[in-house]
Each structure stands twice: as structure tokens, then as C-alpha cells.
Structure 1
Amino acid sequence: MTLTVLGGLIYYSSLKTRHKELIKSKIYYSLNLVDSEWKKELIKDKVVFTSPTFVISGIYKSMEGPKSDIYPTIDDSKEELLWLTSFKTRAFSDSETTEISNDFVCHTNFEYRDAEHYNRWGFTERINEHYPRITSISNGIESFQLPKGYGFPVYSNERIVLNAQALNHNITDSTFNIKHKIEIGFKRHANTKLKPLRSQTIYIMLPFDKKNPYAGPTDKIPDACIPVETKLHTYYDENNNPLSGHWIVPPGKHEYSFNASKQLAIKDSIRIHQITPHLHPFAETFSLLNKTTGEVIYNCDSENFVNKIGLKSAPTFQSEEGIWLYKNNTYELTLTVKNTTSKNQEMMASMAIFYYDKEMQEKIDEHIN
């Protein structure tokens, strides 16, 4: 018994922070030490989900803190078309009555279930075409609304996916409990006819040596990154070379770029109406460029806190008129980071884009009054 306990402790101590938190949360919830259940409240034109309790007991960089998933419907009492129009996450004390700093919001991911969502419309060719994320909001970008007249269509009894994760960059001297309240604003198609948007995520990926992933830049791969880990957020190019979407940033100022044309996979043209960035602290500027024309499509000048670690704001892009992107043009993501600490930090950089969905509009016109 003693050897088993000792072995378990040795194994636990060897884990990364994010994996330790999964084990700790499972113990808290299994023993009913904290609230383990999600709550849902449907209020006219919005639905509010309250997360289980997250126990904050240490420093959690992005993607390291306690987290929880849920697969809810918005209103399963009936089936009707809804338009998702806004997304918001706030941090609360575990009493659910006192709003606290959003420093404790790592991210909320909003996703649709690929097969269920597209089978309802007869869009079977779209299944597995893109990662099924509606959008993501995160530290510094805790809420946004889609442009007036537009929405993301889902059915009221269609299951979606919510993923909430806690963050703590600064507090080291106490243990405390928090919750997240997640609001999705929507309009009912019976009352309001909107134009459909389709969502897609594009993100910076950097190369690394698969034989020696933590070597960093070499003569062979001068632009190699150091991945945070290779089990998550590792992708492969057409030549089976590994790329990481989650990498280490050393102290100082750094610039990164990535050709996002293949990720966009534009068949003819698309008209973008909304862009929401996902960044980690120390990011300064994040841009989407049309390299063919020289046009800056979107530039996010993020603001970091001065007296603590964290993103204060990262502006989104919103346009009723929209901006056109074309098949034969080249599109590049660029990022500048200034790590003002003396330690390595972690970075991700993605954009959740929404563009007009003409094919979905045709389906709605054909099948729904």
C-alpha cells in the first residue's frame, strides 16, 4: 500500500500543471467538496450557463487551469431556428453573487457538433471540413456581438459544446473558489430574420524538429519554435513536417508570421463581417494581411496590464458591409510579442472569423418560412 501511494505521488509530481488540475478537479467533484454541476437559465433573448466551481490554488498560465465541458441545448422544449448574436463570459465568486476580475477567465470555447449541425441542413459535405468552433472568447476579449443584421444559425434543441477554463497569472498567496457565467445572446427566427454567418478559425503555426522538438532554431530549421508540448496543438504540413500552435516565447521582443491561405481554403471569395482574436499575455499586435494587394484587413493592437500579467484588451473587428477575401490572393497572419519578464512565456495566436454564408441562406429560404 505504501509503495502504491508513493508511486502515485511520484507520478503526480511528474505531471504538467494542466494534468494535475484535471486530477485535482476530479477529486474535488467526486468527494462533493465543491459544486460540480453546470446550471442553465433561459431568459427571453439570452441563455446563461454557470460553470461548476473552479478551485484556484496556484499560478495557471493559459490552458493550465481547472476546466469543465458541457453539451447543452439552448431550449429543448421545442424545435425552432435561433440566431446566436452575442457571446460573453464573466468571473464570479463561488456564491454566484459577486462579480470578480476577469483575470480568472482563460477562455470559453463555443462549438457546434459537426455531424448533428450539418445533417439537419443536408450539408453532409461540410462535415469534418473545418474544426467545428463557433468562436472563442478569452482573457482581454471577454465579450462581443456580431454585426447588426447577422447571426450564427442553430436549432433550439441542437446540442452545442461549451468549454470553460480558469486562469490565474498573479495570485500566489491564497486558495479560493470561482465560477464562470457564460451568456449567449440570440434572436428567434420567427421574430427576426437575420443573415447567416459561417465561422472558421485561423491561427499561427510554427515549425519544429520532430526528432528534437525542444532544440529551438537550428541551421536546418532557422525559424523553429519550442513547442509547449507535442501532444497538443501539433499539426503537420503537406510534407508531414510538424508545426506547433502553442509555443514558448523567451524574454524580449519577437515577431512571428504564418501563411494562412491554406487554412482559409477560399473556394472563390468570402466576405468577412467579424473577427475575434485569441491571444496570450505579452502579445502586442496581431494582424491579417492580404500580401497580394498589401491591404491590412484587420489589425489588433492589444493592451497589456502594466502592474500585473494579463491582457487588458484586444479589440475585435466588426463590419456590416464586410471585407472581401479572394481565392487567388495570399493571406498572412503576423504577430509581435514583447515578453517583459525574465522568464519564458507561452503564446497562441488565432482569429475566429465569421463570413457570410450564401449556401446556408439558400437552405433557410428553401426550408424555413
Structure 2
Amino acid sequence: MKRSLPVALSAAAVVVVAGAWLASRRLAEGSVATAAPSAAAASASASAAVASAPPAEPHVRQSERGFDILSPVYTIDRIYRSMMGPQSMQHIPMKSDGASNDQELVWVTGLKATMVAPDGQTPMPPEYMCHVNVDIDPLAHEKSYGHPLNISGRLFTLSQGQIDVALPKGFGIPIRSDQVVDITTQVLNLNTHSDPFGVRHHVEMSALRDSAAKQPMKPLFMAGVYGLALLKGEHGHFGKEKPSHEGTGCMMGKAASDGSYVDPQGKEFTGHWIVKPGREVNRTDVTTMMNLPFDTTIHYIAVHLHPFAESLTLIDRTTGETVYSAKTRQLEGKIGLAHVDSFSSEEGVKVYKDHEYELESVYENTTGEDQDSMAVMLLYLHDKQFTRTPVATQPAAAPSSSSSAK
């Protein structure tokens, strides 16, 4: 299926939201499974937990620090490639428990997720996490303020290698307490062959009510940039009729899943492509994706990559300087990512509306088979246009599943 841009590309473990683009889609992903003795041992322990597990219903508990969420129990009974495992969505009202007309400003400041057994407490390996996505209906949110906002539908994505986000002290994403957020969770299994067992996500979303803030909070908005492979077109410079700087655009590639995107110039791209055995370096012009409304500063960067990725680098093409480069660490003896770097700074790093930017991904496929790949940076930028006073509004309805990125 071909779709026109601008859109928000989203995926496995990650959903990419490009600037203020609001639409989203799912990309199916693939990977190769291998046996892992340590994971099998964890599976046996989890199987025992299933036998004595409490009911599998999801659970949400609100506190002064935010929200504590347990997903439904998911059964792992086979190899589940990325975006192929069981999943669900939970609607979380942001208002205070028992409040009927709650319209206070709330600052979302972080997200953490761990994998646990069905009892909700026994730790399970993080390799069973495909992703956790947190979304909000951007149109309803913007309507509640009565003027345009620099906000997309995605607040956070956690995935393998990065299972927590903590925004710098004093920073947050502002939303209204009469809004509803969607929490989407999905499991993954690339390595374990065993009897069926249960796992679930334990998600902690940190949120601070404005009335409880000890000092004024600084607003952030998120813009997503992502690597692309060119499927059809004269050159691989996304969203541009002709490249305005020298150097290659994103490479010609083969899609790893159904679906592609067409930019305004008619070029066809995929954000989920095949990496052949060996080393691959791919560069994508992401200036159009960033769509900066003004000069500003980046205060947090989350990164999504697939197994066999080595690094992801954001480059200011105008100055030639590196804005940020993230490195990875692979799981030992298994397919997967043990760690992906992230960036956090109260001071921030400057980016400019009139500069051009490029994303460079490096993969080293050490197997003899094709592997799938993605390359995403989620940039949390200072919103200098945010105003604190919204217009009066009725409580928002829950976002529909069709409008949420998965």
C-alpha cells in the first residue's frame, strides 16, 4: 500500500512522528530466532507463574507521581517477530480519581517499562518487550487550547534497548487533565523455544500536576526523524525536488514489510528496509521531517534501532557538525539490543529552522541472512510558543484505535 506524505511513520517498537504530522501506521517487522539457554530457564519460571497467576485483566493505579499500569497477560507460545506478537491498548484518563470536571494542566515527565510475570511482580527478561507506545489525540488536544500547538500524536515510545525515558528536571510535555492517553503494549520473542508462558508489561508514567510544581515547568514537544530507503525515484532526498547540498541521499533499498510512502515529489520510500549481510551506511535528509517552526533546543533524544545496528547520528548539514550520535550494545549470544544510547540535557543543544539536517545509520549484519532495520530519533524540543491558558472545553473523548500509532 502506498501512502502520501506528510504522515507519521510508526513502527515496532517505535512509532515515528514527523513534526506536526498526525497520521500513523503499523509496519510489520521480521528477525531471525535462535535458541538461548538462559531465556529458556526464565521461561520455565514464567510457566510456573502462569499456573498461580491472578486474573489477567489490565490494571491502572493513579498516584501523586503519575500512573502505574499493568498490561493484560500475554501468552508467548512461539517465536514472535517484531510487531507480530500479542498486543493491546488501554485508555488512561488523565483526570484525578473521582473528578468529574478536571481541566488542570498536567506535565508528563517520563515513562518506564519492565517485563514481569503474570503476578505483576516477578521480573522477566526485557527481551520480551516489543514496545510501549503512549499516544494522545492531537486534534482534541489542540482544540482544547483553541489555537495551534506544536504537538504530535506520540508522547513516548519505549522499545528494546531503551526501556525508560526521564525528561530533564524541570521539563515536561504539557497536556490537559481532561484528556485521555492511549497506552499500547506488545510482546516480542526472537530467541526462546519453550512451553507456553505468560508475561505482561509494568508501565510507570510520571506526571506532575501544574498546581504541585515547585517552579514553572518548561514545555517540550516531540519531533520524529527516521531513516528511509528509496524504492522509486530519481534521488533519495526526502521531500525535496532537488537536493540543495552535495552528497548522496538515502540508498536504494528493498522493503522489509508491506507499505510505502510517497513524498510530494512522487518519490517512494520505506522506513523499514532489508539489510544485507555485511556493513551498511544509510543517510537520509530529515530537514522536512523535523519541520522546525523556530530556532530552539533539543533537551532529550530517544533512539530506536534494530538488532545489528551500531550507531545513529543526527548531522547538521549546514555546519557539518554532529548534533548527536547514539551507540548500541548487542545482546550476548542472542539476537537483540541490550542497550541504546539516549541524550538528556537541561541546557540543551541548539537546532535551527533554516538549517538542513541528515540522519546516518550504520548496521553491521554479522549473520549470513538478510535482516530488517529501522533508524529513528525522537527529538524533544523546547516549545517557545506554548501558552498556559486554554479555552474552556468539554472533557475529551478517548482516541480511537484507528488514530493511534502502533
CA contact (8 A) 1:133 1:200 kept: no
In the superposition, the TM-score normalised over structure 1's length comes to 0.82
Aligned to 1:75: 95
Pick closer, same or farther for the CA change 1:365–1:93 going to 2, 3 Å: same
Q: Which amino acid aligns with 1:104?
A: Y
CA distance change for structure 1 residues 44 and 222 in 2, over 3 Å: closer, same or farther?
closer
TM-score, normalised to structure 2's length? 0.74
Q: Secondary structure at the match of 1:292?
A: coil
Residue of structure 2 in register with 1:9 after alignment: none
1:169 aligns with 2:190: yes
Q: Report the residue type matching 1:286 in the other structure.
A: L
Residue of structure 1 equivalent to 2:357: 331
Who is 2:278 aligned against? 252
CA contact 2:29–2:81 (8 Å) conserved in 1: no
Kept after mapping to 2: 8 A contact 1:133/1:201: no
Whole-Å separation in 2 of the counterparts to 1:73 and 1:344? 43
Would you say 1:225 and 2:253 are equivalent positions? yes
User: RMSD of aligned C-alpha atoms?
Assistant: 2.4
| Match of residue 181, structure 1, among 202, 207, 210 | 202
After superposition, residues 185-204 of structure 1 pair within 5 angstroms as 185-192=206-213, 193-204=216-227
Work out the number of aligned pairs and report it.
Answer: 322
- Pairing of 1:38-49 with structure 2 (within 5 A): 38-49=58-69
**Alpha-carbon distance in structure 2 between the residues aligned to 1:191 and 1:98:** 33
- 2:113 is aligned to 89
CA 1:154–1:222 in structure 2 vs 1: closer, same or farther (change >3 Å)? closer
Aligned to 1:317: 343
The yes-or-no answer on 1:144 pairing with 2:170 is no
Return the offset for 1:99: 1.2
Displacement, 1:237? 1.5
Is the CA contact 2:29–2:372 (under 8 Å) kept in the aligned structure 1? no
Q: Which residue of 2 aligns with 1:61?
A: 81
Higher relative contact order (CA 8 A, sep 6+): 2
Distance in 1 between the 2:143 and 2:250 partners?
45
Structure 1 stretches of 5 or more lacking a match?
A: 1-15, 19-32, 211-220
Paired residue for 2:311, among 270, 281, 285? 285
Q: Cα distance, 1:156 vs. partner?
A: 2.4
2:132 equivalent in structure 1: 108
Cα deviation digits, residues 167-205 of structure 1 (max 9, x gap): 111102332111001110111210213111111211112
Structure 1 residue aligned with 2:13: none
The corresponding residue for 2:179 is 158
Distance in 1, matches of 2:267 and 2:85, equals 30
Q: Which amino acid aligns with 1:201?
A: G
Matched with 2:40 is: none
Q: Is the 8 A contact 2:226 2:271 kept in 1?
A: yes
- Secondary structure at 1:190 match in 2: helix
Cross-structure match for 2:9: none
Shift of 1:157: 2.9
Q: Which residue identity lines up with residue 227 of structure 2 in the other structure?
A: I
Q: Deviations over 1:110-150 (max 9, x none)?
A: 11111211111112x45xx8741112111010002001110
SS in 1 for 2:141: helix
Identity %: 29
Distance, in Å, in 2 between the alignment partners of 1:279 and 1:352 is 12
3-state SS of paired residue (1:358): coil
CA contact (8 A) 1:61 1:168 kept: yes
CA distance in 2, matches of 1:175, 1:249: 31
Cα deviation, residue 209, structure 1: 3.9
Alignment check: 8 A CA contact 1:83 1:187 kept: yes
What is the SS of the residue equivalent to 2:145? coil
Q: CA deviation at 1:56?
A: 0.9
Name whichever structure is richer in helix by fraction: 1
**What SS does structure 2 have at the residue aligned with 1:168?**
coil
Letter in 2 for 1:61: R
**In the alignment, what sits opposite 1:216?**
none
| Counterpart contact for 1:275–1:317, Cα < 8 Å | yes
- Are the aligned partners of 1:62 and 1:280 in contact in 2 as well (CA < 8 Å)? no
Retained in 1: the 8 A contact 2:152–2:222?
Answer: no
Compute the displacement of 1:222 (Å).
9.7
What's the counterpart of residue 217 of structure 1?
A: none
Amino acid at match of 1:179: R
Check if 1:207 corresponds to 2:230: yes
1:98 equivalent in alignment to 2:118: no
Indicate how the Cα distance of structure 1 residues 84 and 158 shifts in structure 2: closer, same or farther if over 3 A, else same. same
- Aligned residue in 1 for 2:12: none
What residue number does 1:236 align with?
A: 262
1:325 Cα offset (Å): 1.0
Secondary structure class of the residue paired with 2:293: coil
Question: Structure 1 pair 138/17, CA: closer, same or farther in 2 (3 Å)?
Answer: closer
